[in-house]
């Protein structure tokens, strides 16, 4: 499997605060990787680094072998990275369908002038996008709700819609930022199934930030652990569960010298 994302000694500082410190990390094609760590460990910052919201102070981030330094978010999305947000960020005034359609923007062949002229090529393109968007909604069980305002969806469906919207950009790597937050146990089980299904169906690599250990341990092939911006461990779920430093990070150190 070839490598999709590589971070080399990535550090980011906000003033005096080192949010991410010398992190080496990679994700290969089709992998499902988890990223965990206590609150404030720098997980979301790492997401924002990969998606171009922040630029690393030092270090390199490469996507498919190409360095992304200096590219803005939309260009990085164009290179095949899509994400969802910790606190849902849908386009609130748009319908469910329009939320997905907006994400097709990246692959438009007729843009500004096409929309003005509304010729045959434009109409064919619009029809095709509508069809594809509906097909995506269908897969995720949101087809019925396509024409309702996205705000009126239940919480779990909004999370699913965020995933659908991200998939519309045709990513190779999908970043999920705490998708299980605020979900009940049944919803979480459904979410795990959904993530695995998405990964297989769209042949994606998935990078998952999650607090819920059941979800992370249940679906991830590999897990990296951050604490205070540093990567303190990386390995299979079983390895991570036994790792002393990880246990210490989550539960506190055993009293030394006792």
Partner 1 sequence: MGPRFLLLLSIAAVSLVSFLFTGHPQASWPLGQMDDYLLNILILAGINVILAVSLNIVNGHTGQFSLGHAGFMAVGAYGSATLTQINSKACLASLAFLGNAAPLGLFVLSLLAGGVLAALAGLAVGLPSLRLKGDYLAIVTLGFGEIIRVMIQNTEALGGARGLAGIPSQTSLGWTWGVSLLSIYCVGSLVNSTYGRGFLAVRDDEIAAEAMGVNTTRYKVTAFVVGAFFAGLAGALYAHFIGYITPEGFSFLKSVDVVVMVILGGMGSTAGVTVAAIALTFLNEALREAEQYRMVAFALLLIILMITRPQGLLGGLGRWLPGKGGKS
Residues that bind partner 1 (CB under 8 A): 51-53, 72-75, 77-78, 82-83, 85, 89-95, 98, 101-106, 108, 110-112, 114-116, 118, 120, 122-127, 129-130, 146-149, 165-166, 168-169
Residue 240, both tokens: 């991570």
- Contact between 60 and 10 under an 8 Å Cβ cutoff? The reply is yes
Q: How far is the CB of 33 from partner 1 (least distance, A)?
A: 19
Q: How far is the CB of 149 from partner 1 (least distance, A)?
A: 6
Cβ-based burial of 31 (10 A; exposed 0-12, middle 13-18, buried ≥19): buried
Closest to partner 1 by CB, 23 or 161 = 161
Q: How far is the CB of 20 from partner 1 (least distance, A)?
A: 19
CA-to-CA separations, 194 to 39, 133, 164, 200, 228, in angstroms, rounded: 25, 18, 11, 10, 31
Q: How far is Cα 245 from Cα 249, in angstroms, rounded to an integer?
A: 6
Contacts of 128 (CB under 8 A, 6+ apart): none
Closest to partner 1 by CB, 159 or 188 = 159
Closest to partner 1 by CB, 106 or 217 = 106
Q: How far is the CB of 163 from partner 1 (least distance, A)?
A: 12
Closest to partner 1 by CB, 91 or 202 = 91
Q: How far is the CB of 82 from partner 1 (least distance, A)?
A: 7
Q: How far is the CB of 39 from partner 1 (least distance, A)?
A: 21
- Using only C-alpha atoms, the chain has a radius of gyration, in whole angstroms, of 20
Closest to partner 1 by CB, 125 or 199 = 125
Q: How far is the CB of 254 from partner 1 (least distance, A)?
A: 42
């Amino acid at each position: 499997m070839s490598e999709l994302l590589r971070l080399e000694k990535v550090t980011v500082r906000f003033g005096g605060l080192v949010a991410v410190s010398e992190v080496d990390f990679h994700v290969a094609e089709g992998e499902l990787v988890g990223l965990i760590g206590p609150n404030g460990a720098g997980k979301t910052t790492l997401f924002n680094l990969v998606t171009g919201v922040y630029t690393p102070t030092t270090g390199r981030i490469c996507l498919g072998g190409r360095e992304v330094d200096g590219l803005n978010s939309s260009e990085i999305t164009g290179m095949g990275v899509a994400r969802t947000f910790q606190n849902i960020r849908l386009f609130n005034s748009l319908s469910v369908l329009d939320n997905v359609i907006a994400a097709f923007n990246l692959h438009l062949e007729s843009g500004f002038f096409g929309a003005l002229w509304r010729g045959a090529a434009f109409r064919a393109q619009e029809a095709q996008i509508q069809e594809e968007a509906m097909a995506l909604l269908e897969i995720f069980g949101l087809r019925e709700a396509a024409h309702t305002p996205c705000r009126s969806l239940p919480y779990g469906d909004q999370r699913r819609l965020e995933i659908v919207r991200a998939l519309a950009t045709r990513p190779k790597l999908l970043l999920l930022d705490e998708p299980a937050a605020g979900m009940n146990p049944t919803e979480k089980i459904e979410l795990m199934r959904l993530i695995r299904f998405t990964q297989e169906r769209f042949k994606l690599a998935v990078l998952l930030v999650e607090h819920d250990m059941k979800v992370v341990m249940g679906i991830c092939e590999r897990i990296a652990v951050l604490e205070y911006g540093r990567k303190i461990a990386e390995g299979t779920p079983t390895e991570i569960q036994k790792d002393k430093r990880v246990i210490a990070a989550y539960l506190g150190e055993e009293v030394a010298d006792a």
